[in-house]
Structure 1
Amino acid sequence: MRKTRILPALASSLVLGAGALGAVLGGGVPSVAQAPDAARMPASLVADQVSFDQQTERLTASGNVEVLYGDRVLRAKRIVYDQRADRIEAEGLLLTDAQGGVLIADGATLTPDLEDGLIESARLLIAGQMQLAAAEARREGGFDTLYRTVASTCTICEGDTRPTWAIRASRVIRDAAAQRIYFENASFELFGVPIGWLPRASIPEPGAGRANGILLPRFQSSSQIYGFGIKLPYYRTLGDQADMTLTPFITTSGARILEGQYRQRFESGGFNLAGSLALDDGLGDGGGLRGALSAQGAFALPRDFIGDFDLNWASDDSYLGQFDYSDADRLTSTAAIHRTMLDEYVSFGTVAFQALAGSDDVDAGTVPFAFPEFTYRRLYATPGLGGGTLGINGDSLGIIREDGQNMFRASGGGDWTRDGNLGHGVLAEVVAGIDFAAYQAWEARATGDTETYVRTVPTGSIELRWPWMKATSNAQHVIEPIVQVVYSHAFGDSDVPNEDSQLVEFDDTNLFSLNRFPGTDRLETGFRANLGVSYTRLDPAGWSLGLMAGRVLRSTSSDAQFYEGTGLAGQWSDYVTAVSLQFDWGLTLVNRSLFTDRLDFARNEFALAYEGERGGLRAAYIYLQEDDTNPFIGLQPETSEIALDARYRFLPNWELRGLWRYDAVAHANLRAGAGITYGNECAEFDLSLQRRYTYTDNLPPSTSVSFGLKLSGFGGDGETKWPARVCMRGA
């Protein structure tokens, strides 16, 4: 039977009282000493065998020995406590502490509180990740000092002692309270090969979370613009609710860019600021300072309102593209205050745009700034009208430009909706509504003068659906014919300023919409019937198929409210179709089409998505026929593009990636790229190559290469998406 006793004051002196010593030895032993301070925290000793030599005043415990003091636990094959010297000598020991550290050693001489001492052949494990092996170690004043040390978070295989990465140092100091590790005369190794040296360095412990320091560098290059570059981030905490990262970016072309990010959190929300400033762009064009800035944030406001913003700005058209920050041809900035409730929505905000490279045909002076942008919608139950729902809405929009038409619109209206079952499975929905709008336009496009417009549009519709369902032992089938009859008419000025309805897209998603214009500056009018049918198959094997087709019939063929390229002009519209196929093992396919009676395709969109354990695939194809009928934006050239993005983990620790964009009209590549990543429990190496083939006045085609390295165990939560390195037998 193992012996367990509480030893008074072991934490500081391990002095045994007569009663305790007699209990440990199981006999009547004369008193040797009394505990000097019985109020001190007691310690517990557990061992298979315990003996005490009264002459030398040495207590010996062996066989699965455990000494517990507070949050420290010492396990050893054998310990000897020398009462005169007030020290513990342990063999084959394992010592744990409250900070998650585990110290393993062949032998050690420790103070009774297990806090200070000399340790031989020490191996320190921190938070189950960071391993430090040293020829000798000392514990003193809450610090562990290790000499001739190797540190790593990687698995070390028998027969192959080279971890994926390691730090070798002549001395290492671990500050458990500050959760930080300091290295002196340190060299960094990858796969056993030294690649860097520092006289002094420090890193946060695993699990330390936010910690100040230099982060791992990232390398990238651009063949035509800035050459080879290196980024070296520095992270700094600013209290519990804020931090910042400063990243110098230096290139062989002479570019010197400073990137920065600042994050702040409050009880009611928070914001992020990010940007970059080119102190020297390395291009020698003397263009002055260049840079970019972005800011995002959201805050909870009184009465359940939320305020949010997303602001983006660049100093010039080509800065973001030249330094591989973004391929966007336009920046959008928004700010709004809004509230969403079960029966109410209200929003007040503004929108601004900035045209970039790739939008050379856009005059910056004509780019609009939208303010104010106000939207209000409220729903009411109407039991007095036999049920249904009454909706009240109001909105406003102001458009400001440096050059061209400025405009303000105030509009509102209401609608009443009632649905029900007519019997025999026929579902019906009735809608009645009216919209009012008043406009003031300065430098109006039609006359160049200040103009006022007023418009009223009442609308009524009835929709009938008749779903048929059949269930068999193999599948469940649902066929649903749909007929929607709509009438609306515009009173007053119908040719009002058009800012939000210049580009119309007709597809299955708006076949049964009362207004197929994307905004409210144009409202669909006339007598029309929206006709469609859908089919759904649900298979118990775990897949489903959906089909849908439809078109619009108008009472007259002379209606000219839609231009020809929309597919909605004339008495009969073009056909819209949609096909979807979905498998529960992760594959989804969707195809949407718009074509004429002669089966001439005006538009086709195909998308494939797959996400599995070992890989993923995104594929898309889009075709748009040439359209010169849009009176607002002019000629739209024929578009036929293919896009592929894929990743495949061909081995547990290796993943390949690839992307491709192709212009089938010009028979030319737009973009291509490939990448490979190796990752394990302690590191991730990523190499990517990308080629941009497109050319603008400011951005020639270029090839970019980037390399990144991530090491686990430097702060953070220590989680990784990669499996641990597998040790081969005999390796």
Structure 2
Amino acid sequence: MTGSSSFLKTDERGIVRGMNSAARGVLFTVFAAVSCASLTLPALAQQSLESALQSQVNPNAEMLLESDQITYDFDRDVIVASGGVQIFYDGYTVEAHQIIFDRRNSQLKARGDVVMTEPTGNVVRTNELTLSEDFANGFANALQLDTPQRTRFIADKATRSDGNVTTFENGLYTVYTRPTNPPNKPPLWRIRAAKIIHDQKERVIYYENASLEFFGAPVAYMPYLSMPDPTVKRKSGFLIPTGVANDRIGFGASVPYYWALNPHYDLTTTLTPLTKQGVVSDVKFRHQLANGAYTFSAAGLFQGRPGEFSGSSGDRRWRGAINTTGHFNLSENWKAGWDLIYKSDRAFLKDYSFVSFNDDDETSEVYLSGNTLRNGFSVKGYAFSIYQEDYTNPTYDAPGFSPVGQSLQDKQPFVAPVVDYNYVFDDPIGGGELSFNSNFTSLTRAKTDAFRASGVDRFRGVDGTFSRMSMQTNWRRTFIDPIGQSFTPFAYVRGDLFFNASADPNVNALTGDAVVGRAMPAAGLEYRYPFIATFQGGNQILEPVAQVIVRPDEQRIGELPNEDAQSIVFDATTLFEWDKFSGFDRTEGGSRLNLGLNYKLQLDSGYYMSALFGRSYQLGGKNSYAMPDILGATLDSGLASSQSDYVSSLYLHTNHGVRVGAQARLDENNFAFRRLQAQATARYGPLSSSLAYAYLTAQPNLGIPDPREEVLSSASLRLEDNWRVFGLLRYDLENSDVVQDGVGAGYDDEGFSLSLSYAEDRSRNDGDKVNRTFYMRIGLRTIGNTQISSGLAD
């Protein structure tokens, strides 16, 4: 050392602690200047580093400097820290081979593998960094930033001027998947720009002469591109377009524009020009409030070639749809909302499936509900907008109510209001639990929905307005004796009032009374006796179950409308239901005995199996399921005779990726399958698959003269870490016909996704034998997703 220089006092590692204010100011300048380099990062970084610096830097925090050597040149007024320099300050770490502070020229330099780690997790790497003392101007070579979100920014040079504008020369933006990737391998995709300019005052980042590259090769050029910087959460601008192609609508591209109108509401408008049908306009408005949110969406067009949809409801000029949703928390226990949709025709959202609010929901709903631990109340209203096309087969013609030539949409009811109230009493009554349930439903239908099955007219619904008020009180209590037997006595009483039972004088099956009352008291007992056997490696439980219910006959069968109890599914899940009807319009009557046997097996290795087998017996009185109503659904329920069909269930979990579940109903006389549903899923190494099978016997009373039998399978095979192939098949075994099929391939990693698929659908009743769809999806993480969907129809 020369006489003009001196050493600062350090310990064996060169650690400086408790520095004076001048030295602390020097080191803070070092720290803050390096941090300032991070202010120049492009907008796609996930967090604003400048705001992080302002909010997190504490000038009074303790600072620690470690280096092999620290010198101070008095003649040149230069402080130099050399050899493994590390600075720790308020959560920041700065590492370099050398840090030089030229106090005379108010300039700081960090040299040699400069690495800065910030509290946010961002890591900045550069070879050399030069900054002015006031941080307004600076220069860096070979700058790289890695964020916790696995995004990466690289630039040959970075220059900061006027304390506001940072310019990157020959900049790159990309994402990376894992640190183990070869360091010299180009990323899968990246954006390269001759200049990346960050204006902090405007909070915008500009790209000049940008290009999108895949595997290092350019595929798209953009002479000019801009986007908001990380401090901007929402900004108006174009979004990534998507493509569409279809035989009926032609080729087109959806171009969305996002309007950031306010921090709490926004608007997205989309135009989709189509070569055959014109331009589809689409608008979506969203508004977030303190206690909820709502949306309003609309889409439509004036079709250029409506004849492309000849034979379906889409053969018209003006087509469109409107949708609005909302949900609000009115208080801690109360909420309200809606989901409403109106379509010009039933097929619009199928034919133009790319609009922003498309879904397969056919139900519009308005609701108000309140819930506490022991009671609940709700008011709802429903309307149904179906997708199904009208009938064209005269076989189902019901004289006077023919579905042929009539709109099925006109036969859909409006249901409002539907009021439900449930309450469970706090204190035991008679030592047991007492609860109360009530329901009020009012329904209006413009046209009678009828069909002819097996020479008999059946009615899904009758025109007019029908209202029903139902109230039911339930009580139950469980006793367990010393040897483990469980006894559960229960009782309930229910009352119903029907108003305006029929508005159609041609429907003779319904009573003409304006008000009809009905009551159903019941009492019963359920008995269970589980036998538990433990063995080395697991345990098993065998449990016989018996349930007896005593009650009078159901009243006014066939004289009252049946709107909500048309689906009669008798299987293992409903065997021990007190009333097996799915809704309130029917109520089970007569005395009944339900018997079943439960079996469970649990192995220590993780295998689990459960099974149930049982049946139901009509002990006395009229069997409600043998007495048809205006629909006749109960005749095919498996409960119509005094001894029901057998029901069984099976569930198996192997703990090795295989799961099997099945429900079956077997004929009471010969054990032939009347209904069978089974599903199996398996995962073995890179292969994931599922297989589902369904069989339903003929239901002539519902106009289904032939059995239905289908199998649905799907599989996905991962070929590499990121590549996969997949496919599905739905096959009609009864008619030896493929209903749906599809195949595809995909690539997915943390930064990029691509999938290609082709599917065929023969289940739509829209005049086409086969609907074919080709689908391509491309996703660039942090940039956006786009897709191209093509429909090809016979």
TM-score (norm: length of structure 1): 0.85
Indicate how the Cα distance of structure 1 residues 672 and 77 shifts in structure 2: closer, same or farther if over 3 A, else same. same
What's 1:656 paired with? Answer: 725
Does the CA-based 8 Å contact 1:8-1:41 persist in structure 2?
no
Indicate how the Cα distance of structure 1 residues 135 and 487 shifts in structure 2: closer, same or farther if over 3 A, else same. same
Measured after TM superposition, the shift of residue 363 of structure 1 is: 2.5
Does the CA-based 8 Å contact 1:318-1:698 persist in structure 2?
no
Indicate how the Cα distance of structure 1 residues 679 and 330 shifts in structure 2: closer, same or farther if over 3 A, else same. closer
Q: Alignment partner of 1:355: what SS?
A: coil
What's 1:290 paired with? Answer: 319
Q: Distance in 2 between matches of 1:185 and 1:465?
A: 78
Partner residue of 1:344 out of 375, 381, 391: 375
What's 2:35 paired with? Answer: none
Q: Distance in 2 between matches of 1:72 and 1:467?
A: 64
Partner residue of 1:591 out of 659, 662, 685: 662
Q: Distance in 1 between matches of 2:554 and 2:101?
A: 101
* Mapped pair 1:57 → 2:57: no
Which letter does structure 2 place at the counterpart of 1:552? S
Identify the range of structure 1 (336-345 vs 565-574) with the bigger mean alpha-carbon deviation: 336-345
Alignment of 1:170-249 (within 5 A): 170-174=194-198, 181-203=205-227, 213-222=237-246, 224-249=247-272
Alignment of 1:246-261 (within 5 A): 246-261=269-284
Identify the range of structure 1 (346-355 vs 106-115) with the bigger mean alpha-carbon deviation: 106-115
Does the CA-based 8 Å contact 2:306-2:316 persist in structure 1?
no
Measured after TM superposition, the shift of residue 357 of structure 1 is: 2.9
Partner residue of 2:176 out of 118, 137, 154: 154
Measured after TM superposition, the shift of residue 70 of structure 1 is: 7.7
What's 1:88 paired with? Answer: 108
Measured after TM superposition, the shift of residue 112 of structure 1 is: 2.3
Does the CA-based 8 Å contact 2:554-2:590 persist in structure 1?
no
Indicate how the Cα distance of structure 1 residues 207 and 715 shifts in structure 2: closer, same or farther if over 3 A, else same. farther
Partner residue of 1:550 out of 614, 638, 644: 614
Does the CA-based 8 Å contact 1:130-1:206 persist in structure 2?
no
Q: Distance in 1 between matches of 2:74 and 2:358?
A: 82
* Mapped pair 1:568 → 2:568: no
* Mapped pair 1:482 → 2:559: no
What's 1:396 paired with? Answer: 440
Indicate how the Cα distance of structure 1 residues 211 and 468 shifts in structure 2: closer, same or farther if over 3 A, else same. farther
What's 1:366 paired with? Answer: 411
Q: Where do 5+ consecutive residues of structure 2 fail to align?
A: 1-12, 31-57, 309-314, 392-402, 448-462, 629-633, 786-794
What's 1:623 paired with? Answer: 695
What's 1:2 paired with? Answer: 14
Does the CA-based 8 Å contact 2:127-2:142 persist in structure 1?
yes
What's 2:476 paired with? Answer: 417
Measured after TM superposition, the shift of residue 144 of structure 1 is: 2.9
Q: Distance in 2 between matches of 1:303 and 1:110?
A: 55
Which letter does structure 2 place at the counterpart of 1:483? A
Indicate how the Cα distance of structure 1 residues 71 and 388 shifts in structure 2: closer, same or farther if over 3 A, else same. closer
Q: Alignment partner of 1:629: what SS?
A: helix
Which letter does structure 1 place at the counterpart of 2:763? T
Q: Deviation string for 1:83-103 (max 9, x for gaps)? A: 332212332234566776544
Q: Distance in 1 between matches of 2:327 and 2:361?
A: 23
Q: Distance in 1 between matches of 2:546 and 2:554?
A: 27
Indicate how the Cα distance of structure 1 residues 450 and 173 shifts in structure 2: closer, same or farther if over 3 A, else same. farther
Q: Distance in 1 between matches of 2:123 and 2:219?
A: 29
What's 2:745 paired with? Answer: 676
Partner residue of 1:135 out of 136, 156, 170: 156
Which letter does structure 1 place at the counterpart of 2:292? G
Partner residue of 1:532 out of 596, 617, 621: 596
Q: Distance in 2 between matches of 1:180 and 1:72?
A: 27
What's 2:42 paired with? Answer: none
Q: Distance in 1 between matches of 2:658 and 2:193?
A: 51
Measured after TM superposition, the shift of residue 478 of structure 1 is: 1.1
What's 1:354 paired with? Answer: 385
Measured after TM superposition, the shift of residue 484 of structure 1 is: 1.2
Q: Distance in 2 between matches of 1:611 and 1:318?
A: 38
Indicate how the Cα distance of structure 1 residues 213 and 709 shifts in structure 2: closer, same or farther if over 3 A, else same. farther
What's 2:330 paired with? Answer: 301
Measured after TM superposition, the shift of residue 197 of structure 1 is: 1.6
Q: Alignment partner of 2:495: what SS?
A: strand
Q: Distance in 2 between matches of 1:612 and 1:337?
A: 46
Indicate how the Cα distance of structure 1 residues 465 and 52 shifts in structure 2: closer, same or farther if over 3 A, else same. closer
What's 1:443 paired with? Answer: 503
Measured after TM superposition, the shift of residue 273 of structure 1 is: 4.4
What's 2:674 paired with? Answer: 602
Indicate how the Cα distance of structure 1 residues 448 and 538 shifts in structure 2: closer, same or farther if over 3 A, else same. closer
Q: Distance in 2 between matches of 1:523 and 1:207?
A: 62
Which letter does structure 1 place at the counterpart of 2:433? T
Measured after TM superposition, the shift of residue 136 of structure 1 is: 1.8
Identify the range of structure 1 (353-362 vs 201-210) with the bigger mean alpha-carbon deviation: 201-210
Indicate how the Cα distance of structure 1 residues 96 and 471 shifts in structure 2: closer, same or farther if over 3 A, else same. closer
Partner residue of 2:534 out of 471, 477, 488: 471
Which letter does structure 1 place at the counterpart of 2:579? N
Measured after TM superposition, the shift of residue 400 of structure 1 is: 0.8
Which letter does structure 2 place at the counterpart of 1:408? S
Measured after TM superposition, the shift of residue 655 of structure 1 is: 2.1
Q: Distance in 2 between matches of 1:134 and 1:253?
A: 46
Does the CA-based 8 Å contact 1:127-1:207 persist in structure 2?
no
Alignment of 1:63-142 (within 5 A): 63-66=83-86, 74-92=94-112, 93-95=114-116, 102-114=123-135, 116-127=137-148, 129-140=150-161, 141-142=163-164
* Mapped pair 1:377 → 2:422: yes
Indicate how the Cα distance of structure 1 residues 469 and 89 shifts in structure 2: closer, same or farther if over 3 A, else same. closer
How many residue pairs match? The answer is: 687
Measured after TM superposition, the shift of residue 44 of structure 1 is: 7.4
Does the CA-based 8 Å contact 2:662-2:678 persist in structure 1?
yes
Measured after TM superposition, the shift of residue 525 of structure 1 is: 0.7
Identify the range of structure 1 (304-313 vs 144-153) with the bigger mean alpha-carbon deviation: 304-313
Indicate how the Cα distance of structure 1 residues 542 and 95 shifts in structure 2: closer, same or farther if over 3 A, else same. closer
Q: Distance in 1 between matches of 2:326 and 2:156?
A: 51
Q: Distance in 1 between matches of 2:64 and 2:349?
A: 65
Identify the range of structure 1 (535-544 vs 211-220) with the bigger mean alpha-carbon deviation: 211-220
Indicate how the Cα distance of structure 1 residues 13 and 399 shifts in structure 2: closer, same or farther if over 3 A, else same. closer
Q: Alignment partner of 1:564: what SS?
A: helix
Measured after TM superposition, the shift of residue 241 of structure 1 is: 4.0
Q: Distance in 2 between matches of 1:128 and 1:518?
A: 50
Measured after TM superposition, the shift of residue 304 of structure 1 is: 1.2
* Mapped pair 1:268 → 2:291: yes
Q: Which has the higher contact order (CA 8 A, sep 6+)?
A: 1
Partner residue of 1:407 out of 466, 488, 507: 466
Q: Alignment partner of 1:489: what SS?
A: coil
Alignment of 1:627-638 (within 5 A): 627-630=699-702, 634-635=703-704, 637-638=706-707
Does the CA-based 8 Å contact 2:192-2:210 persist in structure 1?
yes
Q: Distance in 1 between matches of 2:172 and 2:227?
A: 14
Percent of aligned positions that are identical? 25
Measured after TM superposition, the shift of residue 213 of structure 1 is: 4.5
Q: Deviation string for 1:505-549 (max 9, x for gaps)? A: 111111111211111111111122111111111122211122211
Q: Deviation string for 1:270-299 (max 9, x for gaps)? A: 334455334557656672332334444332
